[in-house]
């Protein structure tokens, strides 16, 4: 297993790192659009909504890089295998790419305390070809960043301040 970290460095900016270097930096723009910078290139990703949403890469005539899947939220079709983006735990913020048999190939697990700002990423390097690992990690990091934006008001440190008042709940009299 290879280990990486996925951390939020600033508001709407995330980094995917190994021990020595930054593999990818993801900067979220408006909506679901993001700019991804790696050592070799820079490109934009976006989610095209609809009945069958998909993740597209904007610089290649909107090429689909992750499609909707019936068994998971998204799927990546690689030359040898298809990976499915799934929640790995019922009550925590753990996600990952799994094979059709359910075995997890890449996992993104929140660090102690369940923070949506810092994740440990583990990759089964024997299950994936070396040339696709960065691609899979980057797409997963993008999807996780979108998830963190959605979950931040609920699990963040200011969650109590955003919670609705109990004075207006049913039976509060």
Q: Look at residue 120 and tell me whether its pLDDT is greater than 70.
A: yes
**In this structure, what CATH number is given to the domain that contains residue 83?**
2.40.160
Q: Is residue 13 part of a domain?
A: yes
Give me the percent of the chain exceeding a pLDDT of 90: 23
Q: Look at residue 154 and tell me whether its pLDDT is greater than 70.
A: no
pTM attached to this predicted model:
0.78
Q: Is residue 14 part of a domain?
A: yes
Averaged pLDDT for residues 85-111:
84
> Which runs of consecutive H residues, i.e. helices, occur in the chain?
130-155, 159-162
Q: Is residue 61 part of a domain?
A: yes
Q: Is residue 173 part of a domain?
A: no
Torsion angles phi and psi, residue 17, rounded to 5: -130, 150
pLDDT for the residue 27: 92
Q: Is residue 10 part of a domain?
A: yes
Sign of the dihedral through C-alpha 53, 144, 104, 137? positive
Q: Look at residue 129 and tell me whether its pLDDT is greater than 80.
A: yes
pLDDT for the residue 34: 92
pLDDT 10s digits, 72-83: 789 999 888 999
Half-sphere exposure of 52 (CA within 13 A, CB side): 8
pLDDT for the residue 64: 86
Q: What share of the chain is helix, strand, coil (3-state, %, to 5)?
A: 20, 40, 40
- Between 131 and 98, name the one with better pLDDT: 98
Q: How many structural domains are present in the chain?
A: 1
Q: Is residue 6 part of a domain?
A: yes
Total number of residues shown for the chain:
173
Q: Is residue 49 part of a domain?
A: yes
Domain range holding 23? 2-168
CA angle 64, 70, 74 (to 5 degrees): 40
Averaged pLDDT for residues 144-157:
59
Q: Is residue 80 part of a domain?
A: yes
Count of CB atoms situated within 10 Å of the CB of 26: 24
Asked if 85 contacts 107 with a C-beta cutoff of 8 angstroms, the reply is: no
In angstroms and rounded to an integer, the radius of gyration of the C-alpha atoms of the chain is 17
pLDDT for the residue 63: 86
- Between 118 and 157, name the one with better pLDDT: 118
pLDDT for the residue 105: 92
At 37, the pLDDT band (50, 70, 90 cuts) reads very high
């Amino acid at each position: 297993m290879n280990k990486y970290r996925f951390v939020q460095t600033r508001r709407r900016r995330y980094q995917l790192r190994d021990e020595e270097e930054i593999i990818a930096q993801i900067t979220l723009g408006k909506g679901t659009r993001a700019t991804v910078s790696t050592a070799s290139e820079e490109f934009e990703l976006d989610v095209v909504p609809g009945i069958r949403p998909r993740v597209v890469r904007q610089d290649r005539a909107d090429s689909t890089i992750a499609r909707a899947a019936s068994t998971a939220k998204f799927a990546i079709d690689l030359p040898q295998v298809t990976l499915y983006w799934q929640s790995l735990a019922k009550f925590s913020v753990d996600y990952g790419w799994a094979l059709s048999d359910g075995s997890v190939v890449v996992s993104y697990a929140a660090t102690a305390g369940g923070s949506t700002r810092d994740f440990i990423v583990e990759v089964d390097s024997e299950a994936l070809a070396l040339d696709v690992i960065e691609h899979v990690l980057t797409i997963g990091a993008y999807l996780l960043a979108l998830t963190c934006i959605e979950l931040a008001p609920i699990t963040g440190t200011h969650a109590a301040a955003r919670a609705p008042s109990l004075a207006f709940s049913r039976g509060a009299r």
